[in-house]
Amino acid sequence: MKTKCCDTHISEEEAQNLLSENGISRTKIKTSILLLLSKSKKPLSASEIYQKIGPKNCDISSIWRTLKKFHEKGITRELNLGEDFFRYELKDSHDEQDHHHHHVRCRDCGDIKQLEECDLSAFDKMFSKLGFKKMEHYLEFTGICSKCS
Amino acid sequence: MKTKCCDTHISEEEAQNLLSENGISRTKIKTSILLLLSKSKKPLSASEIYQKIGPKNCDISSIWRTLKKFHEKGITRELNLGEDFFRYELKDSHDEQDHHHHHVRCRDCGDIKQLEECDLSAFDKMFSKLGFKKMEHYLEFTGICSKCS
DNA sequence: GATAAATTGCAATTGACTTGCAAAAAAATA
DNA sequence: TATTTTTTTGCAAGTCAATTGCAATTTATC
Ligand SMILES: [Mn+2]
Ligand SMILES: [Mn+2]
Ligand SMILES: [Zn+2]
Ligand SMILES: [Zn+2]
């Protein structure tokens, strides 16, 4: 039920293993980003990661390239929470269609909470539990159409 | 059930009335954009609108300002279908939490289909009806948190 | 350790979207 | 209708997330 997404605090060794398992070179930046994502209580944006790593310690373009690679390899999930940039979070290995979660973001203060699982009928209860009101939801689908499959 | 969103073909007069009803000046550009949105079978991006109106007939900045105003006034809905830009569609007057629809976009060819209504349990059937497979969905929420309300 | 392959920093670039300003058009007033 | 006030428009410049080419550095492979 608990995903690797947030607040997991993986170790440096675990991070490096994750990289190797996915055929990604074990570099300092890539390890740092994995650690940051696992420590964070909410999905992070590229520039938040950049700030945390320290602008002196790496270039923002390297962060973008890393995030892109992580996404290609399926290590992370790319989220649009109604801001004008993406946020990224770790995916759990068994994180699939039927096991994943979503988020709530306050349209006022921007605070982000994680929902426990994806079962839309249950969302209303979670919102009141979290103290969120005036909910709006964003839901769209992508897939492969008949012409393309 | 059918919304004003697509394929409605409102008349120029209807478009201008819609503008007046919402306290927006009845200009040529604004009328054109309304007509285009009502004629389109799928939500349009700013640059698609720009191409259709003709780069000689107006400036892209005017289109952006118009789309922003429409959105403020609640005439349109702004959609993120997993592309790196927004799409816009007309909202129906009684289009609320409990009466709206979503879309499917092909990750291969980009084709976009409109779903009939928002009832997630029913989506699977619609996807097979539409011939879409390998579905992915994007769902996130915004709301007002306890601190802010 | 030597060599091949991937990653990095830096600087330049793209593309969506915004903004200031003066001219033009629309709305409000008379 | 004529005049005044308000809003919109075009144009040009700017912002900011995200991408890219290239040479230097680091990591993987042998
Ligand atoms: Mn999460
Ligand atoms: Mn639609
Ligand atoms: Zn879900
Ligand atoms: Zn819905």
Phi/psi region, residue A23 (left: phi>0; alpha: psi -120 to 50; beta: rest), is left
Of B42-46, B71-75, B105-109, which range is least confident?
Answer: B105-109
Domain residue ranges in chain A = 8-94, 100-149
Burial class (CB in 10 A: 0-12, 13-18, 19+), A74: exposed
Query: Separation of CA A134 and C1' C27 in angstroms?
Result: 36
Per-residue pLDDT band at B2 (split at 50, 70, 90): very low
Q: Give the residue from chain A lying closest to B139, CA to CA.
A: A139
Residue-level pLDDT, tens digit, chain A, 149 residues: 344 567 789 999 999 999 999 999 999 999 999 999 999 999 999 999 999 999 999 999 999 999 999 999 999 999 988 899 999 999 876 555 557 788 888 877 888 888 877 777 778 888 888 888 888 788 878 778 888 87
**Which pair of tokens denotes residue A85?**
């940039």
Question: Could you tell me the fold of the domain covering A8-94?
Answer: Arc Repressor Mutant, subunit A (1.10.10)
**For B43-107, where are the alpha helices, taking DSSP H only?**
46-53, 60-73
Query: What's the confidence (pLDDT) of residue B10?
Result: 93
List pLDDT tens digits, range B13-25: 999 999 999 999 9
Query: Is B147 at the interface with chain A, CB within 8 A?
Result: yes
Chain B residues in contact with A128 (beta carbon < 8 A):
none
Report the amino acid identity of residue B2.
K
Q: Return the pLDDT at A29.
A: 98
CA of A4 to the centre of ligand 3 (A): 16
- The rounded distance, in Å, linking the Cα atoms of B138 and A1 is 19
Task: Write phi, then psi, for B99 (nearest 5 degrees).
Answer: -150, 90
Higher per-residue confidence, B48 vs B104: B48
DSSP letter (8 states) at residue A41: S
Q: What is the pLDDT of residues B108-148, one digit of tens each?
A: 788 888 887 777 777 888 888 888 888 878 887 877 888 88
DSSP A45-82: EHHHHHHHH-TTT--HHHHHHHHHHHHHHTSEEEE--S
A98 touches chain B (CB under 8 A): no
Closest nucleotide (CA of B63 to C1')?
Answer: D9
CA-nearest of B36, B35, B17 to B26 is: B17
Is the pTM for the entire model greater than 0.95? Answer: no
Tally C-beta pairs within 8 A across A and B. Answer: 158
Task: Specify whether domain A100-149 bears CATH 3.30.465.10.
Answer: no
Pairing of strands A103-106, A133-144: unpaired
| CB pair distance less than 8 Å for A140 and B79 | yes
If you average pLDDT over residues B66-76, what whole number do you get?
96
Average pLDDT rounded to a whole number, residues B79-106: 82
Q: Does A112 touch chain B (CB under 8 A)?
A: no
CA of A68 to nearest chain B CA: how many angstroms apart? 14
